[in-house]
Structure 1
Amino acid sequence: MSFGQGGPSWGPGGGHTPDWAALAEESAARSRRKKWLMIGGGALATAAVAAIVATAVITANGNDDPARSDKNASELPAPAELPTESAAPGPSFSSVAPPPPPDPKEYISDAGKDTVPITADAFFPGKRLTMGDRVHTKGATAQTRDCATTTQGALGSILTNNGCEQVIRATYRKDGVAVTVGVAVFKTEARAKKAAQQASGGIASLNGAGVPTFCRGGQVCRRTANSYGRYAYFTVGGFTNGKNVTKADTNVFAVGDDLTNFTFRQIHHRGEVQASAAAGAPVS
């Protein structure tokens, strides 16, 4: 006797003893179906997840999707514009080096360039000369074209033979010491240098304007000779009371050195003024 599908099976002989072999086979068949169902369902789930991941990748990488429509492409945000460099031109530099500034010495070395008027006040301005903490009072000044009359000893002929054009003199005094400086003017630097190198005798002292006669009548005094550009300059210095100068009289040497340095600076400044005028730049 048997029941419908799914019912228990009974063994042969019509007894009520179940057919255990049939039941075991039926149970094994159900287990096999359940196992295949589970395997099949897992495969379907895995396929579904893979499809979702693939879809997400394609969506995130829209540029790689050959089937993407133009409409979808237009809906994507446009890439940000990067700033561009300014079109304004940068600074330009000339490859040509500017000419060097004029040399002041050129303008006091040749009469053709040294054209500023020569005067005693231009070389020796004011009433006093200050050098450091030393103040010297200016005495008399003189200017002449008869160069020989401003000298003592052989210097007159030396100036004349080298073509001296004029001599400017000025005297300064300080604490019983007086110094006369004389500037002799020549056409060229070579002539002035030669006159200074040949110097013998010296410039004659210039008295007046509060300064008595000094360095005359055999009095021993200090004398110097130098040149710069087309100018030769000489000094004679000593005591206003007629005392002879010795090497120990440093005050006489100090006043003479101040006058020598000042005269050099004045000649150089004369060159600076003319060089700057040629270059179009002012000089203080």
Structure 2
Amino acid sequence: MSFGQGGPQSQWDPWKPQSQQPQQQPWSSGESDNTPDWAALAEASEARAKRRRLFLIGGGALATVAIAGAVAVAVVSANGSGQASDGPASQLPGTADIPSATATAPSFAPTSAPPPLDPKDFVASAKKDKAPLSPDLLFPGTQLTMGETVYKKGPTADTRTCGSAVQGSLPKVLNDNDCTRLIRVTYTAGDTAVTVGVAVFDAEAQAAAAKKQADKKSIVRSLSGGGVKSFCTGAVCRSTTNSYGRYAYFTVAGFTGGKDVTEKSTEVFRAGDDLAEFAFRQIRGRGEAQASAAAEG
């Protein structure tokens, strides 16, 4: 039902384009023909309220979508460059094109440290072996402990005529290789005695040659006295020969009571080996001390 004048008109709908609101006339209190249709007005009001609710619901949905879109953009911005891309996923850069996140390790210029000094070089020739040398420096103290055995230090000797302090074939060996000095020392443990003789040469090659030329008859003379009884003057004894650097070192070991050494005389063999090892350590230690001093200087 229409109201007002002008005949029937299409009902105004705010959601339709080109729709116009009808011109309403002032209400009058005249006859029933001019009385508003209250039922129609109620229906129109209800329709407008319903459309408003739908509009609000729709607007809320659109706002939700907009918020979700903003979150998506924010996530992309946090994980990427912050710019949206309209291209498909296939247009993303390949793995090889993505720069690595690994930090580049700092590089340093190569350095070359000097090689360590060889201690043997300092005892290989008289030109470099300049440290003081004497029986007490080479064999210090009053006793020596090797393992569980304690050896008491006995007499010492230092001679420049090497041949006079050795016997058998050894005088010739030392003289042929120009031995310049022979240092001797005796150690005892019970009735076992050992004399160590260290022959000094100018060069390592001479000491090596003396070691090679020595045989079973090349024996250093035992050194007694100072409370040490004579030994290895006529009895069978055990001898050793070796060299290190410009030094050749010899041992002769036996019993102080004149008893012969046999294969079962394990204490004599052990004593000879202990003192030969000690002589080697002392000569090598001499080289180590000089090498250390040269490195620090």
Structure 1 pair 250–55 and aligned structure 2 pair: CA distance change class (3 A) = closer
Aligned to 2:202: 187
**Residue of 243, 248, 261 corresponding to 1:232:** 248
Structure 1 pair 48–212 and aligned structure 2 pair: CA distance change class (3 A) = closer
- Residues 142-221 of structure 1: matches in 2 within 5 Å? 142-200=157-215, 201-216=218-233, 218-221=234-237
Cα distance, 1:100 vs. partner?
A: 2.7
- Residues 38-49 of structure 1: matches in 2 within 5 Å? 38-47=46-55
Cα distance, 1:148 vs. partner?
A: 0.6
Superposition RMSD in Å: 3.0
- In structure 1, runs of 5+ residues without a counterpart are 8-25, 62-89
Structure 1 pair 41–6 and aligned structure 2 pair: CA distance change class (3 A) = farther
Distance 1:266 1:133 in 2: 19
The one-letter code matched in structure 1 to 2:240 is T
Structure 1 pair 129–52 and aligned structure 2 pair: CA distance change class (3 A) = closer
For residue 129 of structure 1, give the secondary structure of its aligned residue in structure 2.
strand
Moved more, 38-47 or 228-237: 38-47
**Residue of 250, 254, 260 corresponding to 2:270:** 254
Cα distance, 1:141 vs. partner?
A: 0.3
Cα distance, 1:114 vs. partner?
A: 1.1
The one-letter code matched in structure 2 to 1:36 is A
Cα distance, 1:117 vs. partner?
A: 1.3
Distance 1:147 1:93 in 2: 57
TM-score, scaled to structure 1: 0.72
Structure 1 pair 192–241 and aligned structure 2 pair: CA distance change class (3 A) = same
Aligned to 1:87: none
The one-letter code matched in structure 1 to 2:266 is T
Aligned to 1:70: none
> What count of residue pairs does the alignment treat as equivalent?
229
TM-superposition CA deviations, 1:254-276 (whole Å, max 9, x none): 11111111101101110110011
Cα distance, 1:36 vs. partner?
A: 2.2
Distance 2:296 2:106 in 1: 26
Distance 2:221 2:109 in 1: 57
The share of aligned pairs that are identical, in percent, is 47
Structure 1 pair 253–55 and aligned structure 2 pair: CA distance change class (3 A) = closer
The one-letter code matched in structure 1 to 2:44 is W
- In structure 2, runs of 5+ residues without a counterpart are 1-28, 71-104
Structure 1 pair 223–40 and aligned structure 2 pair: CA distance change class (3 A) = same
Aligned to 2:285: 269
Aligned to 1:14: none
